[in-house]
A and B are shown apart, each in its own frame.
Chain A
């Protein structure tokens, strides 16, 4: 059963269509990532689910109950903001107890035991007496999570909770957050603009652009079967190469484009003449920028070679580069939508 459902959800700010008709169904225990560039409407979408923003049109239900008109406090949600939004004048204990005290139905002992349960899950028992300014970024995040969890919400909403951490901490925080989500089995919506976070953490990813969900699916689906050119180029670093090809746009991923040693072309492979212009060394990979000539049009493409490929590639030279036709994607030139291949050469 879907825990959170949105139907035709829209939010217009004057004539800006921040969210323009979104239908989502988030399953019990699932971690759904909403991924998109800044300004795509993902934060507005989450704020509507939280009840902080009134939709222009559409419906939201949480746990099978219509909540579109309900204020945030009646929605059984927990939320962690990008800034963590800890109350600076309260201790960690008071921060976590705040949602419980706001309900006004719990006794002192109940509050104490619930807070202890939440801090136990996150391993922050020793921080209870501190104030937010005495905490590190990672500790603040855990306090914010504990506060979001303490009321045992139906759904946990996370708005870019990792982007305030430094790069090194982010990787371990990602891992920890995902493990923690699996362990509790709590339905989670995670908003981010970072595709690595999205690919690494999401059970499913909804890719948003210009107020619309362009594709929703597992990380592998959206990476290998991108619905349209936006999703194809937004995912991957660098994104998919696109080449005009008659009425179609041809797409292939940089890591599928590799040097051909000049021997016989294996069946199902195509060879291009690749004029190399620039090479970037990134440690584990080399990025090779250059031109290919397809349908008498020069197009800039990128190849990503792992260090295991030893072939020397120099700027200003031309090399034969090969591609498995199975790795080719075809898109309609008009709509940018994925379409069926017209030919297999």
Chain B
């Protein structure tokens, strides 16, 4: 009796001594890299940005002096920022609408069986797999003010040039005109992010049981009706998550606009992130740059909370 007890205690002590068997310690160990990563690369800069935004820090004078809301008042008074904020919404909302609509079509096509499906799937993924700067540089050439192949095509079909739809002009100047530049940026951004939403939707669509799709057929629903009334509602939670990612990515993206237009012509295509970069990093006004960048935070937090709540409500057993 006594011996068994001591043997048991012995095994337990040995087991406890091994790290691999101690769930608590192991859990902390596994968590540590991501915690350190988040604290160092997200948490610290975030706190720093908040401190900066309430101070008068610049590249030349790094002492932190508290100035209250002065930076926020000053950026709100600048027309560039107000325009940038509006454009951020325009850029995000229009591109997300386009992406959700197009991703639906693409996902349905991709989920079907046809010859050369693997090739089509690869081509769909390609824009996402290409480095952003590289892909955007390609577009920069495609949209060039003088050598754009789109211009050439439009000239050939007679839309541009003498007698054309737009008068005698020979060039669209895609990136040099106020609204056309923003439209071009949106097109490039949609091209770039569409694959992600498509893949998310495709995963959702293929998770719908075949029985349900068959049942809808037997119940007399057309293809479109099956898609709109059965499949889409069943993947609403996934759709919302795709939208959440899309909104956050788009709101915080600066690469496409920066490479394409640097905010131009004048400041007509600036979005909040590019303006924060120009102001804070290029202009050296760290405190104002931080204030601009922080403007996004409450917006994104609100959007995320709203969408997650909606997704949870729609969740289906």
Q: How far is the CB of B218 from chain A (nearest CB, A)?
A: 5
Judge whether B234 and A52 touch: CB under 8 Å.
no
Judge whether B219 and A147 touch: CB under 8 Å.
yes
Judge whether B220 and A102 touch: CB under 8 Å.
yes
B26-34, B206-214, B296-304 - interface stretch: B206-214
- Which A residues lie within 8 Å of B230 (CB)? 87
In B196-250, which residues have CB < 8 Å from any A CB?
Answer: 209, 211-212, 214-222, 225, 229-230, 233-234, 236
Closest to A132 in B: B317
- Which B residues lie within 8 Å of A276 (CB)? none
Judge whether A72 and B217 touch: CB under 8 Å.
yes
How many chain A residues sit at the interface, stated as a range, is 20 to 34
- Which B residues lie within 8 Å of A99 (CB)? 219-220
In A81-109, which residues have CB < 8 Å from any B CB?
Answer: 81-83, 85, 87-89, 98-99, 102-103
Q: Can you list, as one digit per residue, whether each of B122-154 has a CB less than 8 Å from chain A (1) or not (0)? A: 000000000000000000000000000000000
A87 to B219, CA, bound (A): 11
* Contact of B316 with A by CB under 8 A: yes
* Contact of A77 with B by CB under 8 A: yes
Interface centre among B211, B234, B314 (most CB of A within 10 A): B211
Judge whether B218 and A52 touch: CB under 8 Å.
yes
Closest to A90 in B: B233
- Which B residues lie within 8 Å of A88 (CB)? 234, 316-317
Judge whether A102 and B218 touch: CB under 8 Å.
no
Closest to B236 in A: A89
**In the complex, which of the residues B212, B229, B316, B317 contacts A85, with contact meaning CB atoms closer than 8 Å?**
B212
Q: How far is the CB of A159 from chain B (nearest CB, A)?
A: 9
A16 to B8, CA, bound (A): 59
Asked whether A79 and B215 contact (CB < 8 A) given A88-B316, A102-B225, A133-B317, the answer is: yes
* Contact of A41 with B by CB under 8 A: no
Asked whether A50 and B222 contact (CB < 8 A) given A81-B211, A83-B209, A85-B212, the answer is: no
Judge whether B218 and A78 touch: CB under 8 Å.
yes
A82 to B212, CA, bound (A): 11
Judge whether A103 and B220 touch: CB under 8 Å.
yes
Q: How far is the CB of A57 from chain B (nearest CB, A)?
A: 22
Judge whether A102 and B215 touch: CB under 8 Å.
no
* Contact of A120 with B by CB under 8 A: no
Asked whether A102 and B219 contact (CB < 8 A) given A81-B211, A83-B211, A133-B316, the answer is: yes
A52 to B215, CA, bound (A): 9
Known: A83-B209, A99-B220, A102-B221. 14 other contacts (CB 8 A): A50-B214, A72-B217, A72-B220, A73-B217, A79-B215, A81-B211, A82-B211, A85-B209, A87-B212, A87-B215, A87-B230, A87-B234, A99-B219, A103-B220
- The interface of chain A, by Cβ under 8 A from chain B, is 47, 50-52, 71-73, 77-79, 81-83, 85, 87-89, 98-99, 102-103, 132-133, 147, 151
| Contacts A/B (CB < 8 Å), 11 sampled | A51-B218, A52-B218, A71-B217, A73-B218, A77-B218, A83-B211, A85-B212, A85-B214, A87-B215, A89-B234, A98-B221
